Amino acid sequence: MSWDQYITTLKADSQVEEAAIWGCDKGAESKWAGGPGLDSITADEIKKLAGDRSAFRQCGPHISGKKCMLLTDNMDAEGIYCLNLKTAADADGNRYSICVGKTNKALIIAKGTKDANGGHLAEQVFKIVKYLREAGY
């Protein structure tokens, strides 16, 4: 199975700028697939996203070293499995939606375009999450 096909599927949506898939089993946090825009995600960031997220409301997570604000955490909610974030403003004042979906063994991360709707992004991520969960991943 090529994990790259899932990245291609996500990026085929005009509102998805970048995507990545990372294994999230303890001790095996590693990149399975992804584009250059999310290459600087670290194993430590994945551990925090897949682990205890209770501190995210006060001090949001980082994705590729960029500070994010937690919008909603439904990662453990049956039938949703997604975490919705917004990046801090970049040098041009742009903020981006990021959705992190959790399968049984991996995190699916999608960064939206500048004008992407976070709800739409979550729908796209959930399609992949649902498929992979049903396939045992």
Q: pTM to 2 decimals? A: 0.94
Bridge partners of 86, per DSSP, are 69, 97
**What count of other Cβ atoms lies within 10 Å of the Cβ of residue 101?**
28
Give 80-116 pLDDT, tens digit per residue.
999 999 999 999 999 999 999 999 999 999 999 999 9
Q: What per-residue confidence (pLDDT) applies to 130?
A: 96
Sketch the domain layout of the chain as residue ranges: 4-134
What pLDDT shows up at residue 100?
98
Give pLDDT, residue 1. Answer: 59
Q: Which residues of 56-84 are buried (b: 16+ CB within 10 A; e: fewer)?
A: beeebbbbbebebbbeebbbeeeebbbbb
Domain covering 4-134 in this structure, CATH number: 3.30.450.30
Q: Look up residue 24 and give its amino acid.
A: C
For residue 45, give the nearest of 77, 20, 16 by alpha carbon: 20
Give 10-residue mean pLDDT values along the chain (137 residues).
90 96 93 90 95 91 94 93 95 96 96 94 96 95
